[in-house]
Structure 1
Amino acid sequence: MRAKRAFAQLAYGDAGMATAEYAIGTVAACAFAAILYKVVTSGTVSGALSDLLNRALHAV
């Protein structure tokens, strides 16, 4: 029984890896969201989106 438990610990010894991967993924997603927010709120992109919205609303 001890040998079986020792083998299981060796085979599945990276139990904390999933949490670390989720943490890195969350940080990467937040960084991407921050960059996307900066791009969308920049003057050029904001003006282009406003122009596009105005043309769409005033289209005949």
Structure 2
Amino acid sequence: MRTGTRDAGMATSEYAMGLIAAVGFAGLLYKVVTSGPVRAGLQAVVERALHVQF
């Protein structure tokens, strides 16, 4: 019998909680990126990048 074995990895419930947290964070990030001011700023950056003279 082995003594002092350690847990390696996550249990199913930990995977579920991690997945819920990741989905929640992705939803929040999506809302922030698609908001008006952020969307306008990103669009301005892309337009500036496309109009650069080489």
Common topology (TM > 0.5): yes
**Higher-helix-fraction structure:** 1
Q: Distance in 2 between matches of 1:22 and 1:29?
A: 10
Structure (1 or 2) with the larger CA radius of gyration: 1
TM-score by length of 1: 0.71
Question: How many residues are aligned here?
Answer: 45
Q: CA RMSD in A?
A: 1.3
Indicate the percent of aligned positions where both proteins have the same amino acid. 56
Q: 2:24 aligns with which of 31, 45, 56?
A: 31
Unaligned runs of 5+ in 2: 2-9
TM-score by length of 2: 0.79
